[in-house]
Amino acid sequence: MTKFSDLALDPRVLDAVAEAGYETPTPIQAQAIPPALEGRDVLGIAQTGTGKTASFVLPIITRLSQGRARARMPRSLVLAPTRELAAQVAESFDKYAKNTKFTKALLIGGVSFGDQDKAIDRGVDVLIATPGRLLDHHERGKLLLTGVEIMVVDEADRMLDMGFIPDIERIFQLTPARKQTLFFSATMAPEIERITKAFLKDPAKVEVARQATTSTTIEQKLVKFTPTRRDRAFAEKRAALRALIRAEADTLTNAIIFCNRKMDVDVVAKSLKAHGFHAAPIHGDLDQSVRTRTLDSFREGSLTLLVASDVAARGLDIPAVSHVFNFDVPSHPEDYVHRIGRTGRAGRLGKAFTLATPADDKYLGAIESLVKMAIPAGELPEGALDDASDRPEAARGGRGASSGRPGAGRGGSRSRSSHTREDRAEPVAVADEAESEDVVVATPAPRPTRDQRPAPRGEDRQPARDTARDTARESARESARESVRDPVREGGRSGERGNDRPNDRERHRSDRSDRGERVVGLGDHMPDFLTRSFRLTEPATPDPAEGDAPDA
C-alpha cells in the first residue's frame, strides 16, 4: 500500500502530513498526487469526504515551494463554490504548509475588500476564492491572473448547480493557457464534461468510487408518518423531530438537521429554540459573519443542533457529528448521500434519521434506488405528536399563525405579499409569539442596508458597495438553489400557504410567456412575404419561383 513517504512530496509537507496524523493516502490522494506533481492536468471524480482537498493542496505546496510570488499575481488559484468551502480549503493550506513560507489569500464575499487587497498586493502563492469575488477583484484592476501556474476547480458539479459555470469559463480565459489544471467534480454532467474538454489538456483521469452511500458506520432509519391533516403536516413534523431528538438523547452529542428550503431552516431552528433546544440556522441568506460564528460554535461543541440547507452544509468537514436528521426528504437523491455522510465520518458511528410523509414516496424511491437498499424503517417515539397542538393553527389567532410561518394565512393578500417577499430573500413581518411554538415565526433573512444595495452603474468600483454586490450575488446563487420548489410537496402544503402557492404564480408566468411566443392574428404560419425586406427605391421584381411576390 502506498504511503505518503512514497510520494515525491516536499519533506516539509510530509512532516506536516505526519503531524496531522495521516500516514496512508486515501485512494484519490494516491492516484492524483503523482500526476499532479509531474505537472499534468488532473480530472478527479470524487466527492467530498474522500480526502480530495489534500490531493491538490499537497502537490501545490510542493511544486510552488521554490520561487516567490509577485505583487498582485498569484501563482496558483483554487476556486470553490461557497465561502465555507473556500475557507475550509484555506485551513487545509495552513495545515500542510505550516513548515514552509508558502503564502495564501482568501477572497470570499462578506469580507472587506481592503484587507483582501492588501494580501494580494503583497503577493501570494495561492489565492483561494469564490468565482464571483475573484472576478470582482479582477474587474477592479487589483488582480492579475497571468501569473497563475496551477489552477484548481473544486466541486465543479456544485458550481454548475449554483450557476457559476460562465464565471469559471471566464476565469479560465483570464489565466495562461500553459498552466496546470486540477479539476474535481463528484459527477460528470454534460456541461462539466464540455468544460473539461475545452480547458484540460490530456488530463490524468482519477476516479474514486462514489462515497460509501451506505457506510457501515451510519445507522439509517426512515421514520414515516401520515399527518393528521394536510395543513398540520409542518407542525407535526416539527413535533416528530423533537421527539426523535429526545429519544436519542443518550447518544446524541450534536446533530445537523436538514431542511429542503431556507425558510423552513429558519422556522425549524426557531421552533427548536422555543422548545429549549440549543439550535441555530445556517443557509445562504444569512450574513457571512453569522454563518461563520454558527459553524465555529457547532464545530467547537458549544452549539448542539445545526439546522441547515444543503448548499450551506454540503462539503463541510465537521469530523464528529453524531446524528443527522432529514426534516425533509431531499428531492435530489444524491443530497441524501451528502447529508447522511455528515455523520459516521472517520470510522465513528453515526445515526441518520429521515422523516417522511406519504407525499415523499416518489423521492424515497429515487433515493433507495441510488443507495441500492431500502432504508430500514424506524418508529416514531410514543406520543411523538402529542405536543403538536390539536388546535387548528388558524384558530389560534396571532400574526401569521396558520402554519407557523410568515404570512401563511389562507388566501389573504397579506399572505401573498409575505411569501413573495420571502422568496426574494427580503425580511417579512416577524410574529414571534414564543408562548406557542407553532406561531414562532421569524425570517432573519437580512435586508440589504442602504449601503449594501447594489450600486448604481458607474459607482460599483467602490469597495463597500462591491462587498455588498458580491455578497448579494453569492447569496442569490445559493438562494436560487435553496429556493428550488417541489410542486408535488408544495401542493401538499397548499393549506398552509393559502393562495400563495408558487404553482399558481408559475402557471400565470408560463401562461404569459406562452402568449408572448404566439404570432398574434396569424396563427403559427407566417406568410413568406412578411419576412422579406421592402425596397423603396426600385419596384420589386417578381420572383417566378416564389409565386406571390410582395407587392411593394
Q: Which residues bind ligand AMP (CB under 6 A)?
A: 22, 24-26, 29, 48-54, 317, 319
All 3 cell numbers of residue 426?
Answer: 427580503
Q: Which is nearer to ligand AMP, 52 or 270 (CB)?
A: 52
Q: Which is nearer to ligand AMP, 48 or 292 (CB)?
A: 48
Judge contact between 403 and 440, C-beta under 8 A.
Answer: no
CA torsion 301→305→307→312, rounded to 10°? 20
Nearest residue (CB) to ligand AMP, 24 versus 413: 24
Distance of closest approach, residue 320 Cβ to ligand AMP, in angstroms: 10
Q: What SS3 class is residue 218?
A: strand
Beta carbon of residue 84, minimum distance to ligand AMP (angstroms, whole number): 12
Closer residue to ligand AMP (CB): 85 or 257: 85
- Considering the complex, state which of residue 52 and residue 323 has its C-beta at the smaller distance from ligand AMP: 52
**Cα 468–474–479 angle (5° rounding)?**
115
Between 317 and 490, name the residue whose CB sits nearer to ligand AMP.
317
Angle at 319 between CA 316 and CA 320, to 5 degrees: 125
Distance between CA atoms of residues 294 and 305, nearest Å: 10
**Closest C-alpha among 212, 213, 206, 275 to residue 437:** 275
Q: Which residues contact 369 (CB under 8 A, 6 or more apart)?
A: 333
Report the alpha-carbon distance of residue 350 to residue 255 in Å, rounded. 10
**Smaller CB separation from ligand AMP, 317 or 368:** 317
DSSP three-state, residue 31: helix
Task: Output the smallest distance, CB 33 to ligand AMP, in A.
Answer: 10
d(CA 329, CA 54): 32
Q: How far apart, in whole angstroms, are the C-alpha atoms of residue 236 and residue 48? A: 33
CA distance 478 to 126: 25
Q: CA-to-CA distance for 446 and 299, rounded, in angstroms? A: 24
Q: Are 152 and 110 in contact (CB under 8 A)?
A: no
Minimum gap (Å) between residue 190 Cβ and ligand AMP: 25
Q: How far is the CB of 115 from ligand AMP (least distance, A)?
A: 26
Q: Which residue is nearest to ligand AMP (CB)?
A: 53
CB of 319 to ligand AMP, least distance (A): 6
Q: How far is the CB of 296 from ligand AMP (least distance, A)?
A: 16
Smallest distance, ligand AMP to C-beta of residue 127, A: 19
Q: Which three cell numbers stand for residue 440?
A: 414562532
User: Judged by CB, which is closer to ligand AMP: 26, or 65?
Assistant: 26
